[in-house]
Amino acid sequence: MSVLVGKKAPSFKAAAVINGTEIVKDFSLDQYVGKSNVLFFFYPKDFTFVCPTELHAFQSKLAEFKAKGCEVVACSTDTEESHWSWLQMSKNQGGIQGVTYPIVADTSKTISMNYGVLAGEYDYDENGNTVANGPMIAYRGLFLINKAGVVMHEVVNFFPLGRNVDEEMRVLDAMMHNEEFGEVCPANWIKGGDAMKATHEGVSNYLAKD
């Protein structure tokens, strides 16, 4: 698994469900380059348990992400038809009805591989046949991509561990603060808090406030 921070986000074209109902065939994050930041997250499987809590949690903050110039996009190795079916199922039945951000279908598993979050790998058996070692689904990977298409933050959780949407909002705020003011954000920084200049004097002035 390679670290993508500081590198261009891998490009792809794949089927996706957008607006909760419409299937498109050639969805790409490239459409956001130069226009929006992107929070791109992977989840293991449709019709599961922790996954819908995360998708609903990101939906609940979607307007806030968009207000800050950040698009939210999800991805799993399920088909676009599976995504569509899950989107038609109500929340109280375990579905994700009401989720409106794009959900990408990584049926080839190449997107998960390129982002370094695929659980398992392909190998060959004694007869030369391709076999899968592992479940071949995505870990809970998340990538914050800036307008230039560069990955600024990534986090990967194992299957049972759901993510904190508020923490991802905090990291987005920190990235935007750095871009706007040129200041760096210390531990536990939150929007409106004191940051510091990346100089000895700037750090000393920040520490003197404690």
Active site amino acids:
51
Rounded distance, CA 75 to CA 46, Å? 10
Tally of CB atoms within 10 A around 131: 9
Kindly report the number of other CB atoms within 10 A of residue 177's CB atom: 18
H/E segment holding residue 39? strand 37-42
Find, among 118, 154, 144, the residue nearest to 39 by Cα. 144
Interhelix angle for 165-181 vs 50-60, to 10°?
40
Q: What kind and span of H or E run contains 63?
A: helix 62-67
Q: Provide the 8-state DSSP code for 51.
A: H
Q: Which residues pair with 42 in a beta bridge?
A: 75
Return the residue matching tokens 């904190």. 164
- Cβ atoms of 116 and 140 closer than 8 Å: no
How far is the C-alpha of 209 from the C-alpha of 205, rounded, in Å?
A: 7
Could you give the CA distance from residue 140 to residue 41 in angstroms, rounded to a whole number? 7
